[in-house]
Amino acid sequence: MFLRDFDAASVGTRLGLSKDFGSWLEELESIGPLSPPVRLPGMHDVGDLLARLGVSPADAVEIIDAWPIPDQAPEMWWLLQRCHQQLVVQMGKPYQPLRWQPLPPHLGAFGRLFYVYVFLSTLPAVRQWHQEHGIADDVSWVTLADLGEHIAIHRRLFGTAGLDSPRWLTLHFRGGLYRLGRLQFEQSRLPAQWPLYNDSINNAVPEPRPNPGAPALAVHIPESGGPLEPDACSESFALARDFFARHFPEEQYHFGCCGSWLLDPQLADYLPHTSNIVRFQRRFHLVSDSTNGDQDVMRFVFRRTAPSLDELPQRTMLERAVVEHLQAGKHWQFCSGWFAL
């Protein structure tokens, strides 16, 4: 079959996708025919390219072994083309989230690695976009190398190369997020329904306070880069103020925000006030919209999905704190906060 013979329904049927994928497939179908056709990197270049994107040799082998061939998997190529086009169309439009989700396990290695190939196909477009906006090569490459880091995280979680959070990487590959020193910064906006300030934690909250829906830089903490040292964080915030004012002057970012289990004030009950985590928390004014964060803690602290508490390591003060808290029948919280840039 030729690609033109496919539509959302036939692709879903041939790939055995559930109804949960229906609206996503229809959204991709609406993109229409592509011009020029999508291309993946040449095999003689792909090894060096994957290394530059932070992909380990073991993961690179899996990626190359499952390399897609249009004639052998035309329905997957139909998906790849349209996901690529969706990224290109939304290049430089950070406030439009994409509804990408992992493909089901029965599609095997190609399914696990599908979004890796989408990002590789989009690499020339995002690199060109970075260059047109004056973004330095070192910032461009260190930002895009988060791809390799998340493929490695998938291996630690599941034992194979893959991506279980493809929506996250869409930010990098359409120009909406940048790594600047120790931290990453995403062009974002505060929620339109901004929750009440948690004054019981913040005590006195200074003025000015951010307005609901105001532009803000969402702060993210990559795994790589060493300890979350205060000086390194302060340097990142200074870099971010200069970077976004220079490269995106049409939007003024007066505030930063963060949503993370790392902002759970319960951590201060277990960690010393001099710890990097507690000092990071102190930069933020919390808001009253916390949710259960146990699953996030398991994934980010231990790189486990649903472990027994008895099997968790307790090598560090943080690991011991997490286990002790849960063994006491308590829960960790995913908390949100803001600070003035």
The model's pTM is: 0.92
What domains appear along the chain, each with residue ranges and CATH number?
1-165 (no CATH), 176-341 (3.40.630.120)
- Tokens 């795994």 correspond to what residue? 223
**Which element (helix H / strand E) includes 184?**
strand 183-189
Q: What are phi and psi of 72, to 5 degrees?
A: -90, -25
Tokens for 181, please give them: 């020193």
Residue 251, helix vs strand vs coil: coil
pLDDT digits (tens, 9 = 90+) for 70-108: 888 889 999 999 999 999 999 998 877 888 999 999 999
Residue 211 is classified by DSSP as P
- On whether the CB atoms of residues 78 and 3 are closer than 8 A, the answer is yes
Sequential pLDDT tens for the chain (341 residues): 455 678 999 999 999 999 999 999 999 999 866 667 788 998 888 999 999 999 999 999 999 999 998 888 889 999 999 999 999 999 998 877 888 999 999 999 999 999 999 999 999 999 999 999 999 999 999 999 999 999 999 999 999 999 988 999 999 999 999 999 999 999 999 887 766 666 555 555 666 778 888 899 999 999 988 899 999 999 999 999 999 999 999 999 999 999 999 999 999 999 999 999 999 999 998 887 778 888 998 988 888 887 888 888 889 999 999 999 999 999 999 999 999 98
Residue 91, helix vs strand vs coil: coil
DSSP for 12-71, please give it. Answer: HHHHT--GGGHHHHHHHHTT-S-SSPP-PPPHHHHHHHHHHTT--HHHHHHHHHT---TT
